[in-house]
Amino acid sequence: MNLNKKNRWSTIISFIVLLIWAIAILVPLFIMLSAAVKSPEEQATNPFGWPQKIQWETFRQAWTDAKLARGLGNSVILVSFSLVLIVMIGSMAAYPLARRTKWKPVYLYFLAGIMMPFQLAMLPLYRLMKMLELINTYAGGILIYVAISLPMVIFLYTGFIKGINHELEEAAMVDGANRFRIFWQIIFPLLKPVTSTVLILNIMSLWNDFFIVLLFLPKKEMRTLQLAIFSFIGEYNTRLNLVMASVILSILPLVIVFMALQKHFIKGMAGGAVKG
């Protein structure tokens, strides 16, 4: 009885704490939405009230003026190619690293990459990319994304593969299947949980990347969604409704994916706690 009473109080206090933070999260989001759907004049006189008339036109104008179609296309190309390569190359490399102790030095070589901040590689990498003429190319962006993601991805895959039983592959080996078939047909499907963590962590960091594209893909035609918004905001910074509308359009894809795959995302974000 006494315990129940206590529990009820702690539940109420928990709820109040959560509610306060929820308001702190919602207020800026609400202001973003409300500033986007109001005309600039209305925003000045009626900043927090319900909009008199929702100005959908603003979104259309932001979409065309910020050239978001082009930015979206560039982002999709860069991120999807990078993700496919990250998963394929990372999981393949992890397989021998997890199975044979003699590759330990190679494993540590990758692991050391987790500790290296990108900023340390940034300026020499700029020099290298210029020499290879990979600045402002999809290939250049994809190669950088893959290279900087691999250490963490290999770490996650290696840890997971170590937990998988050898027996299946040994049976397949006896049947004469080759290593590639064993990996892609037997091992890779078993990696689904960690593959979803890898995908979620990398979608979040690559889709939202600003620093790398700012340095390596700044050309107008190569702008990703983030850079398209960035340069649009720079030009239109006085037109609050256009700025906020473009921001909303830019965050929509990821928020929709998150809502659809909530469970996976929450697991992936917690599972990737080790990402530094």
Partner 1 sequence: MRNPQARRIFTNTLRLRRFLGDALFLVPAIVIFSIFFAYPVISSFYISLTKWNGLNPELKFIGLDNFIKIWSDKHFWTALTNSFKYAFFATTIQNILGLVLALAASDKHFKVFRVLFLIPPLLSSVALGSVWKYMFAPNGAINLILTTVGLENWTQDWLGNPDIALYSLVATTIWRWTGMSMIIYLAGLQAVPTVIQEAASIDGANGWQRFRYITFPLIAPAFTINVVISMIGSLKEFDLIYLMTKGGPGRATESFTTYIFSQAYNSNKFGYGTAISVVMFSIILVLSLIQIQYLLKRELQQ
Residue list 78-137, contact with partner 1 (CB under 8 A):
89-90, 92-93, 95-97, 100, 103, 106, 109-111, 113-128, 131
Report the C-alpha gap between 54 and 265 in whole angstroms: 32
218 near partner 1, rule: CB under 8 A: no
Q: At what angle do helices 68-99 and 57-65 cross, to 10 degrees?
A: 70
Chosen residue from 37, 161, 199, 243 binding partner 1 by CB under 8 A:
243
Binding test (CB under 8 A) with partner 1, winner from 72, 77, 143, 261: 143
Q: Least distance to partner 1 from the beta carbon of 271, Å?
A: 8
Q: Least distance in Å: CB of 222 to partner 1?
A: 16
Asked if 113 contacts 170 with a C-beta cutoff of 8 angstroms, the reply is no
- Burial (CB < 10 A; 0-12, 13-18, 19+), residue 200, is buried
Q: What is the chain's Cα-based Rg?
A: 24
Asked if residue 229 binds partner 1 (CB under 8 A), the reply is yes
Task: Show contacts with partner 1 in window 49-68 (CB under 8 A).
Answer: none
Which class for 209: exposed (0-12), middle (13-18), buried (19 or more C-beta within 10 A)?
Answer: buried
Number of H-type helices and E-type strands within the chain: 15, 0
Minimum gap (Å) between residue 146 Cβ and partner 1: 5
| 151-170 residues near partner 1, rule: CB under 8 A | 151, 154-155, 159, 162-163
Residue with the two structure tokens 């290298």: 128
User: CA 189 to CA 51: how far, in whole Å?
Assistant: 51
Q: How many other C-beta atoms lie within 10 A of the C-beta of residue 217?
A: 23
Binding region for partner 1 (CB under 8 A) out of 16-24, 57-65, 76-84, 189-197: 16-24
* Count of residues that bind partner 1 according to CB under 8 A: 94
Residue 192 CB, nearest approach to partner 1 (Å): 18
Using the rule CB under 8 A, is 233 a contact of partner 1?
yes
Q: Which of 35, 78, 199, 222 binds partner 1 (CB under 8 A)?
A: 35
